[in-house]
Each structure stands twice: as structure tokens, then as C-alpha cells.
Structure 1
Amino acid sequence: MSVSSNIFILLRNTSSSLTSTTTTIKLLSSSTTTTITAAITTTATEVITSSTSTSILLKQPIAIHLLNNSTKEKKSMIRRTNDNVKKEVSLYNSLFAGSTVADKRKAQYKNLVTSYYSLVTDFYEYGWGQSFHFANRFRGETLAESIQRHESYLALKMNLKPDDKVLDLGCGVGGPLRRIAYLTGAHVTGITISEYQIQRAKKIGVPANCQFIQGDFMKLPFEDNSFDHVYTIEAVCHAPDKAKCFAEVIRVLKPGGSLVGYDWCLTDKYDSQNRDHVETKRLIEEGDALPDLKSTHQLVADLKSVEFTVEESRIIPEGDIPWYQPLKGGDSFLTLNNFRTSFLGRLLTRNTIWLLEKTRIAAQGSLATLNILETARDGVVRGGESDIFTPYFFFLARKSS
């Protein structure tokens, strides 16, 4: 089934579980959204129509493809060719060198996160797409489809309306932002500390109901009570002090507004006395620009410390395919994206970058950037296999009315 008109799509799930067997999708008319084309891949068992909406009762997990949420720009991992790359690699590595402790990284979090995303954004786009996050994944579902569903679930939990003002905290190059804006018609503002990501986001495209702002989520550049809802996807883990970050969020939220998100956390299985666990934590922090990875319990405590009411908090249940599988290898080679994340794809990437750097087509430091990402891969795969780490601890918190 395909639809092409001035509409937006809002997922309605009959329960809080992502594995629910019954899902309803409503296609609602909206004159405020841009024209989009969507394809819904599943088998409809019941269709009910009216003058104002169409409801489709589905018996399988659904996947939505926003066909115009793409760019014709060719994939590239070497867009940046200036001499700053080598300097940024040196700055980044210095924050993890020798006996450097978390307190130093927290004090220099701006340098830590800004240099990291200046270095890795092109690689992320090349290998992962425009949405820089993981997702639980079901059998028969592609990586891209699982990521789309993961983002759509947040839109569902916020119950967004076309006139809502929404903040994407740590928006990257805007993949989730565009999807949620298209799905709901809400006005979505994205904020990221990375100037380079803002450049990329604007290059990819800015929908009429979206905007991108460079800024620090530890000191949000917005008036009090500016947003109806805030969401964040695997971004608050970069904050040097989550409680202070959440204090800024609750300040800019309107009364009754919600904060919804996924974040990287240590699970209850993490043992600070276990050397392997400690080393895995270090690899994740070093490879992913994290000042200090915290537990799920600490995140909830930080939310409550600034007077958020935590309505839901849980680790999203694992799907049929481990979330770290694309990084580990063994995925199907039927698509180019899967090949890029496979062992052979990564080997080809490394050799290509080595050659391009030697011939000065790629900036000096490009291969060192890839080494940082390999550290990240090793850490998150180890963390996933040992179940001491999760990239999608889900939380829904609300500001009092």
C-alpha cells in the first residue's frame, strides 16, 4: 500500500511493548505538513475508513519508509580534506591518554564531543546512514527499518500534534528529526554542539517545519517553557553532568511536557570489580566520546533530582537480531549498507582510507579517526555480548503541570 498526499502518519500501539502483535496506524489529513510519499510494508487484516481518517489494523510489526527523506548526494567518508583533522585527532586522544580520568573529560566535554563528531560524522553517515543510533531488530526487518521503527516509537510516546513545538536534544545530522517531523507535522528544533553536523544537516535538507541550531545542551539557548516535548536519542551520555542537563530540559519544557529518550547505560550486570567489565567500559568511553558511562539507576536518579516525574523507564527488550550484530559482522551482504558494516567492508574501508591518506586525497588523521571507531566497535560489541551495556535504556519523564 502506498499513500501520496498532504498527510502525516502516526503510529498507535495497543500496548507499551514493542513486540505487541497488534498495531494500528492512522493516516490523518494535515494541511500543515509538506507533501510526502510513504509505503507501509505489512499485511492489513482490517481497514476502516471515514471522512477524517483511515485506520489500518495490522497483525505484524510494521516498517515505514519515508521515500522523500533521502538525499541524492553520494555517500562519502572523506568530505573533510583540511588539515584540522590531524589536530582534532590529537586533541581527542589526549583526553584518554595515560592516566587521564573522567573528571578531566568532564571539564573539557565541549572539546571532547565537538572534536569527536567533527571526526566521525562522515564515517557514521557512510556506514550507518543519517540516524546515528542503534535499535532492537526483528526477524525479516532490515537495519534501516528497525531504526525507523525505533524513532517512530518516540513520536508515539510523545503523542505529538501538528501544532506542538518539539526539541531534539543532540540531533546529529537530523535523521530522526526529519522522520518525526514528517510523521507528526510537529515543529521540531534540533540542537547539536557540533558545527560540522549543523553544516551537514543543512546540506542534506531542512523541512519547512524544522530548524537546526548549534548549541550546548548543558546551557540551552531557549526561553523558559519553550517546548511542548523534548526527545533525545543516545545523546545525554555525552553530558558531563546529566542532572544539570536535565535541569536545562525541564526549564525549557512547558508545564505537563514530556522528555522521552533512549540513552547509553551500564546494566545491573556491570561489576566494577571485574577487570573485563572495567576494560569494556573504558573502550566504550574512549571510542564514543563519553566522559563517564553511568548506570540505568543513576540516570533515573538524575531525572528525579530535578523534579521530573519518571513515568516509564526500562531497557528495550532485545529483538530477534542482537542490536550489535551489524558491527560484529555476519549480516547479509544483499545490500550495500550491510556490506559496509561487515568485516570485509570494514577491511576495504581501512585499506581505501590508508591509500587516500598516503596520496593526500584524504586528510591526514583520517586513518586515526577510523582507529577511534574501531575502539568504539570493540567496546560496544563486548558490552552487548556480556550484557553489561545497553544503548537503548528508554525513559519517559514529565514536568509537573
Structure 2
Amino acid sequence: MRRKTSILLLAVGHACVDIYQGAVAALIPFFVAERDYTYAVASGIVLAASLLSSVAQPVFGALTDRWAMPWLLPVSTLLGGVGIALSGLSGSYGLTLFFVAVSGIGVAAYHPESARVARLASGGSHSAMSWFSLGGNIGFALAPLMVSAAIGHGSLRWTPVLVLPALAGAALCVPVLRMLARPQSGTAGTQAPRSADDVASFVKLSLAVVFRSIVFTGLSTFISLYAQQRMQGSTTAGTAALFVLFLGGAVGSVLGGSLAGRYDRVRVSRWSYLLSAAAVTGVIYAPGAVMFLFIALTSAGLYVPFSLQVTLGQDYLPSRIGTASGITLGLTVSIGGLISPLLGHLADTTTLRTALTPLIAMPALSWLLFRTLPEPVAPGTRTATPSSATASASVSARQDA
């Protein structure tokens, strides 16, 4: 019961934090409309949220490998919310970038430690980790609705209202930390030896997550504007497209945890990426409202591997779980924002459809990388081929006998 309660509270807290990742993309159309930003200038805001976050997440991950820092959960949640809340108060582009960057640092500090705590609370369960990831996906999905409700009928000066989820998320962290404090005292030194780390597989996994990040961040940045173009300038269509993109991730995360219980994580992720490549093509080229169906399929396909990649990274680097979490859950996810200005510049010089077309190749590249990855048998152990896994099982059975 304690485990279920902890995961539930962590999932809700994760939702509160990831609202601020989704809010950056949701604010883009309002910045474009109210301040006449170009696509390239507007995508620079996404870059500001991603740049410091990309650098900071591995640092926070390495720190949590050395010291448990559960206090980071409420503090980083508040930092993420305050940055977004202040981002709309000044017409200065520089101050807007600064406040969005502050929010990005808060998000960066949250994810490595929260993934460590979630793994601790879940006992390494893939299903429990998928529910933890589900919370973040729901936060993403709620972001455009909250942004639209807060400032859709007013102006960017209403962004301070968006601090409310951060206050709720910080409060939810407190009972979780109290719940885990007693049974987890003295576990900091129970790390696997570094010789158990499979660095080569972890690097391939990280590259696959980078490609996933590029396509998802590119779509989340521009799908609202693209849907508005396709639907005769309807702002409702833009908000709906972003909502569907984020909500489909909630379905994908739970589905990924369920499928991983029947098949191995690598196989599930590999097929998901192959299907995502076809779905992204439909998003960009399918006619009319059919686009929304492909947006949902793309989102689900990209999020089926999401929580599985986190646990795979932790199993590839069992002696550095914080670092693995910071990279797979943070760095490689936020690094997609670094590509957004390039897509924005391409959209300014050509068309938005032309700029989005290269995104079709990204999940295909992730699929190719997953074809080379082994499935860890257990945390800290890996197998390169099915036959070697069978052999290991046979040896274990003889030893038990």
C-alpha cells in the first residue's frame, strides 16, 4: 500500500512539474500573436528552456549519485513554476528568455532525483515506472488547456496564475519523502560495481532518445501553428492539436509498461519507433482533420518507449542510476529544443510543412539504434543474444539443482 501511495503521489507531482515543459510550447502562439515574434525568434524561447536544462540535468544526476537530495523535489517544482509564471510579465525578449531558462533549470533539477526516488518506491517495477511517467505525460497534456484557460481570453500578463500547479506539486512531495525516509536510511552505498555498466549500450540508447526528443519537441513547438494553418487560422484547432499530442503520450506510457510485461523492453520500443515514423508522415501530409488521428498515433508511438528507456538506462548503468536518469529522462529529452530554432529558421525561409518534413526520419533512426541494443536480464546484467540468455538460465537452473 505504501508503494502504491508513493507512486501515485510521485506521478501527480510529476504531472505538476511537466506542466511547465508543456507550457513553453503552449505559450508560443501567444508570444507570436501578442509580440509579433517570427518562428525563429519564438522557437528561441523553447531553446532557452532546453539549453540550460540540457546542461544541468546530467550534473544533477551525478550529484544524486553521490548524495541523496530529496529536498530537490519540492524546491525544483517551485522553481519550474515561478519561471513560467514570470515569463509573460515583461515585454523584454531577454527577460522572457531568462525566466523560461529559470523554469528549465527547475525541471532539470527535478527529473534525476524524482526518477531515483520513483525507482526506489517502485522496487524497479516497469509498470510502476510507467505510471510515474504517465503523470508527466498528463502534465504535458494539461499544459495547453491551462495556458489557454489562464491567458486565452486575456494577455500574457496572466501567466502568474500558472504558478498554482507548482504549489500543489511541492506540497505533494512532502508526504512521499516522509514515507520513504524511514525504510531507505542507509541505502546510499548499495550501488552495483562500475564493471557492471554497459556504457556502449547506454550511449546507443541515449542517441535513440535524442532522435525521439527532436521529433517530439519539433512537433510540440510547431504543431499548434501548423494546425491553425491547416484549419483556416482556428486557434481552437491549434490548442486541440497540442492537447492531442500531449494526451496521446498518457496512453502510450501505460501501454508501454503493459507491453513490457509480456515482451522485452527493447522489442516493444523498436516496433513503436517504426510505427511512429509512419505516423509522423501522416501528421504532416494527411488531409484535413485526419491529421488529428495521426497526431494521436504519433504521440502514443513516441511515448510507449518513454518509461522503458528510463529503466533500460538505469539497468545499463546500475552503478550510476542518477546519471542514467538525468540523461535518459532529462538531457536527451530536452536536447530536442536545441533543434527548434533551426526548424523555425527553415520555416521562415520556406514553409512550415517543409520544416517539419525532416522529422519523419527521427523515429526511423531510433528504430535502427534499438535494433542493436540488448535487453538486460536483470538490473546490472545484460545479454547480447537470446541464446546467451537461455544459456545463462540453464546454468542458473543447474546451480539451483
Instruction: State TM-score, norm by structure 2.
Output: 0.26
Structure with bigger RCO (C-alpha 8 Å, 6+ apart): 2
- The structure where helix makes up a greater share of residues is 2
Instruction: State TM-score, norm by structure 1.
Output: 0.26
